[in-house]
Chain A
Amino acid sequence: MNTSGGKARAHWVLRGYGGLLNAVMAFFVVNVVLLIAAVAVDSFAKSWFRTWLPEGWTASWYTSAWKEFQLESVLTVTAEVVLFVVGMSVLVGVPAAYTLARRDFPGKRTLMVLFLLPLMVPPITYGIPLATVMYKIGIAGTLWGVVLANMIPTVPFVILVMTPFIEQIDPNLEAAARVCGAGIGRMFVYVLVPLLGPGILAASLLVLVRTMAMFELTFLVAGPDSQTLVVALYYAVFAAGVRAPQSVDAMAMLYMLSTLVWLVIALRFVNPTQLVSRVKEHPQHA
């Protein structure tokens, strides 16, 4: 049906369309990179006003931000929160993922909905009732309040990430361990955990990165002594007129570096799409 002229036109339309898509993606990526670069340049700028680059360079904003925003204690709190959240999410999430991967039982679908909801409902929506309850029983403002709040999305996340890892382990290995007399605890420690090592590592890193960046829940339940870095950054940007913008940007850089280091490590073990969903890829042949 197609004449050769029609084919050639279709070819050019297709190439133009492909070019347009590339341009859109390139435009987006370039702007994101420049956005981050602008923060980086500003954090080292003596003064920067309506020019392409600042007039002079200095690293002194980092020392002043460190003192001004009490970053030493903020970073300590952040490390504690992240450590506890990662550890407890794995301890609570992996056993649950095991049962979900290995057993079928009535009510499994309902339970899956319970485990998926915290990942779908945005934190602000359940965070306000949560903060209300936490203020009422008095754990809001404490480190444990922040840890518990942060675990709400991470426990389901660990379950979601770990279930496919567990599914691909041969159940005969567990059966063999049980036949040899291992209880469920020993079977877990000596058979499953070593086999699941890479999966647990991947899940831990992803939880770590997500907890570093989790703003809403920490913001709603934290007190002055239990702020994580991202919440401290919010307050600094919020009160922007008060401090030098370079000082705020220096803090933003510290936040960015401490998050991106873990992201880069995480990306060695997982596919980027795993940050947003559970992935089961089909083998792709070029």
Chain B
Amino acid sequence: MASLPTLQEPPVPRGAGGKLRFDPTYGLLAPATLFLLLVFVYPFVYGFVLSFQPNQGSWTSNYATFFSSPRLWPTILTTFKIAMPATLINLGVAVPLAFRLRVKSKYQKWTTAILVVPITLGTVLIADGMLTYFGPKGWLQLVLQSLHIVTADDPIRLTHNYIGVVLSLIVSGFPFVFLLVLSYITGIDPVLARAAATLGANPQQQFRHVYLPLLSPGLAMAFCLAFVQAFSVFPSAVLLGAPSGPTRVISIAAYEAAFEQYDYSMASCAAMIMGFVQLVVVSAALGLRSLFYRGPVVSGKG
């Protein structure tokens, strides 16, 4: 039962030796903890410090440059303009669909199995496929032409521009959000909805008064994960967008600083700003959720 406190497992007998001896079980945590401290936490701290040690100028000059250069600060807005619509579309479509497919069935099994394919293949392959399929010579244009929506001389441009990047974020992001929301919805005990139905609630009311409150932590989490992924879009912004102009996202700016100008200090600064913006949006989303609903968090979900 998701919303009720679960019984604690009885304590495990500790080691064969005396109580004062160090429990070797804790030693098992050491490799994983050390590994992440060295390879994940340390580089992050290093990057943070490095961003305040610019090649020239005072300790804040990287940040001053970033927020004054017309090549750099607008990348934040550009990334927002791509990531926010993509995230909202994905979430807006995924929630009703996941709600509809919440009961186990053959249909649910096959749909989830097909949707897992684009996630597994990843953005690079999707970009390649989209260039072939959505491109000016692709099947989609042929369908639109045969329906007389567009002409061969004037195809709809769906690649190498803003739309291409948003589309790729939907192709790879929608299945991710859908599966995430589905896992949250199937984690809610259907007995609750049946109890509501016994009291006369129709499916709409069940959704509004039973599922939605229990789902809201999950939805906030799904929004955060989906947004953070969309905000760090890189391969599709290069391959399907116009990386020098309309889809010059912040990760491209960071990448160029590191691997084209070899200014690791500036690159770290851009990465820190990217992380900071993500943190702000995530905190805002989680804060908004706690305003919307206060209550036991659905547990056992990660």
Residue of A nearest to B132 (CB): A38
Q: Which residues of A contact B229 (CB under 8 A)?
A: 122
Q: Which residues of A contact B9 (CB under 8 A)?
A: 167, 171
Q: Is A276 an interface residue (CB 8 A)?
A: yes
Q: Is A50 an interface residue (CB 8 A)?
A: yes
- The answer on a CB contact under 8 Å between A114 and B115 is no
Give the interface residue-count category, chain B.
Answer: 35 or more
Q: Which residues of A contact B86 (CB under 8 A)?
A: none
Neighbour of B176 across the interface among A52, A118, A248, A276, CB < 8 A: A276
Residue of B nearest to A231 (CB): B124
- The answer on a CB contact under 8 Å between A175 and B43 is no
Q: Which residues of B contact A21 (CB under 8 A)?
A: 96-97, 100
Q: Is A3 an interface residue (CB 8 A)?
A: no
**In terms of DSSP, what is the predominant structure of the interface of chain B?**
helix
Q: Is B165 an interface residue (CB 8 A)?
A: no
Type the 1/0 row for B176-203, where 1 means its CB is closer than 8 Å to any CB of A. Answer: 1001101110111110000000000001
- The answer on a CB contact under 8 Å between A50 and B142 is yes
Residue of B2, B50, B186 contacting most chain A CB atoms (<10 Å): B186
6 nearest A-B pairs in the assembled complex, by CB-CB distance: A129-B47, A95-B28, A122-B232, A96-B32, A213-B122, A273-B183
- A contacts, CB < 8 Å to B: 14, 18, 21, 24-25, 28-29, 31-36, 38-39, 42, 48-52, 91-93, 95-96, 98-100, 102-103, 105, 111, 114-118, 120-126, 128-133, 135, 148-149, 151-152, 155-156, 159-160, 167, 171, 174-175, 178-179, 181, 183-184, 209, 213-216, 219, 230, 233-234, 237-238, 240, 245, 248-249, 252, 255-256, 259-260, 263, 267, 271-273, 275-282, 284-286
- B contacts, CB < 8 Å to A: 2, 9, 12-13, 15-16, 23-26, 28-29, 31-33, 35-37, 39-44, 46-48, 50, 93, 96-97, 100, 103-104, 111-134, 137-140, 142, 152, 171, 174, 176, 179-180, 182-184, 186-190, 203, 224-225, 228-229, 231-232, 234-235, 238-239, 251, 254-255, 258, 264, 267-268, 270-271, 274-275, 278, 300-302
